[in-house]
A and B are shown apart, each in its own frame.
Chain A
Amino acid sequence: MGWLIELIPLPYPDAVVALGAALLGLTAGVVGCLAVLAQRSLVGDALAHAALPGIVLAFLFTGAREPETLLAGAACAGLVGAVLMVGIERGSRLPADAAIGVVLSGFFSLGIVLLTHTAHTEGAEQAGLERYLFGQAAGLLERDLRVMAILGAASLLLVAVAFRPLKAMLFDRGFAVASGLGARWLELASTALLVAAIVIGLRMVGAILMVAMLVAPCAAARQVCDRLGPLLVTAGALGAAVGVTGALLSARSDTPAGPVIVLVASAVVAVAVLAAPGRGVAWEARRRLADRRAERGRSVLLDIETAMHAGAPPTERELALMSGRPARDVRRGVGRLVRDGHALVDDGRIRLTAEGAAMAHAALESRALWSAWLDHGALLGLDGREPDPRDVRGSLGDAAADRLVHLSQGDHP
């Protein structure tokens, strides 16, 4: 790993932390998707808490202080927790979240009892057991990086090899079971992957914040990806980017790396949820606004058409009185029509252009067709197919639309 660290233009300890954060982000981002898509986001939280008694027990039995041994203990405890979780969910009537909660509190209580018990009897403080709870990236060594890299590479390799079966498991469990994919083994494997990611992350961000590293990259990537392959790649890349950014920020501001990385990840999710193209909250709000404006324009257009049939071209005031719409809405609707060249304002009186009149007729016809569908649609025998209300003719086809017109005019074929 030495050459890689030397490549990074940073002081040695910062480079180690940045590289570790990148490894963690990459692995956790990819593996976390498996949990998030299975709607078990908080399994990561329970497993991270379950690692605590494992670490303490590993210390008690071996007296070792080097991270490899302690993390092996964490991994064992995490696996036991995972098996218990699945067992409770399968074997009883408790839902997944209750099973997660019970395992989380049970293991964490055990961990605290063991921790306080050892703290009172032996010098566990020096083993730095608590740093696994809150993370302490500053103490990261090159040796830790090697462990993290091996675990991460193994996890990613497993995901790549088992990509198709995992995909089947996530999206169509019944099919996966029926095709003899060994659903139990796959589930166990994906939980083992989670445990591996958590083991990587315990030193970096600690047990409590670990769940964010698993969930946030996937949640952000999910806003821009609709397929599993791209999702995994994007989540992994996002995770790595978030890790490096957080590590650099924390090195610069002299703050603990774990929380900064998690906050960066949360910020990325917030941006994705707000602004994801075609999906985000802001995007959705803009679309709704545009829809509302278009609908207002169309209604005012029809009001003008109706008024012109009744007599002289109306003024804005008359339009408002006639339609019962607020004057402001009418003004805005007229403004839009004028801008689009569908209407003219001539001495305060509004009239439609030829283009506007054609649009009004089309809109009236479409409206009539929609009410014809509501009245007679059942007679068409479309097997429950529903037309798009905005474009009945287009979505039903000309033949069916013509029949609707006939039906509504009262001549039954």
Chain B
Amino acid sequence: MSDDLIIILTAGLVATACGLLGPFLVVRRQALMGDAVSHAVLPGIVAVFVLFGTRAPLPVILGAAAFAIVCVLLVDALRRSGLVRGDAAIALVFPALFALGVLGIDRYASSVHLDLDATIYGEIAFAPFRVWELGDMRLARSVVLLGVIAVVNLLLIAVFWKELRVTSFDPMFATTAGVSPAIIARGLLIAVAITAVTAFESVGAILVVTMLIVPAAAAWLLVDRMGPMIAVSLVIGWVSAVAGHLIAIRLDASIAGAMGLVATGCFCVALVFAPRHGLIARALLRGANRRAAATT
């Protein structure tokens, strides 16, 4: 495989894994949990490095996942105490954990090269150089890891399709029907946490956050049903992966950033031109309504 192909494939798989979960997060008004989790895992990464002296992917993912789950549960507990609102709970938990991570780096890991940029920017450009040798096959590590995560997410969505939708849109009915919204919500967030952790081990936090929110938000402007919404966000994700990579090469700039920019561009197009919920469509509708009201 060529390097470009590996990078695009990695980003596309990130887009797939995130695009499957993102729409649920957005319709549940939890879009920012991805952002919170992606910052909150820093102490996990640092702890693994300090305790075991390794940056190998599996231990790092496990350490980060532990803190991601801590973050999700802490936010949940704060919210349920009723003393702090949901959005404030997010804003309280993740900076605390992130600060812990920054201090950990400063204390124990500043001599070695565990820099903040690597966890925040991530370097998708390095994806082709990290390979696993399997017999005489050379597999790009990020492609394998993210492929597994994407498949797992797909299975999760397929198995819990009914439950996820009913708890997203009618939690009261879900409770009556014997599906616990709280358990499904926590499960979804843990899936998001594990996806985010795995993904930004290879591509960096900002791309994960972007891929969780932006394609799903754009899709929600374009379509009305959950299935098509996921499909549209996957398409936007892959378009961003391919176009972003081309732009990044042209500009000699961060690949993840460029992909995020393309996704945001897609969002802007959707925001303006979406057939029913776009700005133009809404303005036309408003005008038509006004004329109709004036003539009657």
**Interfacial residues, chain A to chain B (CB-CB below 8 A):** 36, 39-42, 44-45, 88, 91-95, 97-98, 100-102, 104-106, 108-117, 120-121, 130, 133-134, 208-209, 211-212, 214-216, 218-219, 222-223, 255-256, 258-260, 262-263, 266, 269, 273, 276, 279-281
Distance in Å: Cβ of A234 to nearest Cβ of chain B: 15
Q: Which residues of A contact B212 (CB under 8 A)?
A: 101
Which one of A36, A101, A222 lies within 8 Å of B209 (CB-CB)? Answer: A101
Is the pair A134, B260 in contact by a Cβ cutoff of 8 Å?
no
Q: Is B106 at the interface (CB under 8 A from chain A)?
A: yes
Is the pair B213, A105 in contact by a Cβ cutoff of 8 Å?
yes
The proximity string for B residues 82-120 relative to A, scoring 1 for CB distances below 8 Å and 0 otherwise, is 011101101110011011101100110000000011001
Is the pair B257, A109 in contact by a Cβ cutoff of 8 Å?
yes
Is the pair B99, A91 in contact by a Cβ cutoff of 8 Å?
no
Q: Which residues of A contact B248 (CB under 8 A)?
A: 113
Which one of B92, B120, B217, B258 lies within 8 Å of A212 (CB-CB)? Answer: B92
Q: Which of B81, B248, B253 has the most CB of A within 10 A?
A: B253
4 closest cross-chain pairs (CB), A and B: A109-B260, A212-B95, A112-B257, A106-B264
Which one of A95, A106, A130, A208 lies within 8 Å of B98 (CB-CB)? Answer: A208
Q: Which of B107, B120, B257, B271 has the most CB of A within 10 A?
A: B257
**Given contacts A101-B209, A102-B264, A113-B253, A209 and B98 within 8 Å (CB-CB):** yes
Q: Is B9 at the interface (CB under 8 A from chain A)?
A: no
Is the pair A219, B88 in contact by a Cβ cutoff of 8 Å?
yes
Distance in Å: Cβ of B23 to nearest Cβ of chain A: 11
> Which of the four size classes fits the interface of chain B?
35 or more
Which one of B99, B106, B217, B267 lies within 8 Å of A263 (CB-CB)? Answer: B99
Q: List 25 A-B contacts (CB under 8 A).
A: A44-B91, A45-B91, A92-B221, A95-B31, A98-B26, A105-B206, A105-B209, A105-B213, A105-B214, A106-B260, A109-B210, A109-B256, A109-B258, A110-B261, A113-B254, A113-B257, A115-B254, A133-B116, A134-B102, A209-B98, A209-B99, A212-B92, A256-B106, A259-B100, A262-B96
**Given contacts A42-B32, A98-B220, A102-B267, A263 and B96 within 8 Å (CB-CB):** yes
Q: Is B39 at the interface (CB under 8 A from chain A)?
A: yes
**Interfacial residues, chain B to chain A (CB-CB below 8 A):** 26, 29-32, 34-35, 39, 78, 81, 83-85, 87-88, 90-92, 95-96, 98-100, 102-103, 106-107, 116-117, 120-121, 206, 209-210, 212-214, 216-217, 220-221, 248, 251-254, 256-261, 263-264, 267, 271, 277-279, 282
Is the pair B277, A93 in contact by a Cβ cutoff of 8 Å?
yes
**Given contacts A105-B209, A113-B251, A41 and B267 within 8 Å (CB-CB):** no
**Given contacts A42-B32, A208-B39, A219 and B92 within 8 Å (CB-CB):** yes
A93 to B87 CA separation, bound complex (whole angstroms): 19
Q: Which residues of B contact A260 (CB under 8 A)?
A: 99, 103
Distance in Å: Cβ of A190 to nearest Cβ of chain B: 16
Dominant secondary structure of chain B at its interface with chain A:
helix
Distance in Å: Cβ of A197 to nearest Cβ of chain B: 14
Distance in Å: Cβ of B256 to nearest Cβ of chain A: 7
Distance in Å: Cβ of A87 to nearest Cβ of chain B: 9
Q: Which residues of B contact A266 (CB under 8 A)?
A: 92, 95-96, 99
A235 to B217 CA separation, bound complex (whole angstroms): 34
Q: Which residues of B contact A94 (CB under 8 A)?
A: 26, 217, 220-221
Is the pair A215, B99 in contact by a Cβ cutoff of 8 Å?
no
A266 to B256 CA separation, bound complex (whole angstroms): 31
Q: Which residues of B contact A269 (CB under 8 A)?
A: 92
A208 to B120 CA separation, bound complex (whole angstroms): 10
Q: Which residues of B contact A100 (CB under 8 A)?
A: 31-32
Q: Which residues of B contact A105 (CB under 8 A)?
A: 206, 209-210, 213-214, 260, 263-264
Q: Which residues of B contact A102 (CB under 8 A)?
A: 213-214, 217, 264, 267
A95 to B168 CA separation, bound complex (whole angstroms): 14
A272 to B78 CA separation, bound complex (whole angstroms): 12
Distance in Å: Cβ of B107 to nearest Cβ of chain A: 7
Q: Which residues of B contact A113 (CB under 8 A)?
A: 248, 251, 253-254, 257-258, 261
Distance in Å: Cβ of A373 to nearest Cβ of chain B: 29
Which one of A106, A114, A212, A280 lies within 8 Å of B91 (CB-CB)? Answer: A212
A209 to B107 CA separation, bound complex (whole angstroms): 18
Distance in Å: Cβ of A224 to nearest Cβ of chain B: 11
Residue of A nearest to B224 (CB): A93
Which one of A93, A117, A133 lies within 8 Å of B221 (CB-CB)? Answer: A93
Q: Which residues of B contact A281 (CB under 8 A)?
A: 81, 83
Q: Which residues of B contact A97 (CB under 8 A)?
A: 29-32, 87
Q: Which residues of A contact B90 (CB under 8 A)?
A: 41-42
Residue of B nearest to A106 (CB): B264
Is the pair A259, B88 in contact by a Cβ cutoff of 8 Å?
no
A222 to B106 CA separation, bound complex (whole angstroms): 33
Residue of B nearest to A134 (CB): B116
Residue of A nearest to B217 (CB): A98
A117 to B212 CA separation, bound complex (whole angstroms): 25
A223 to B88 CA separation, bound complex (whole angstroms): 13
**Given contacts A104-B209, A106-B261, A262-B96, A91 and B279 within 8 Å (CB-CB):** yes
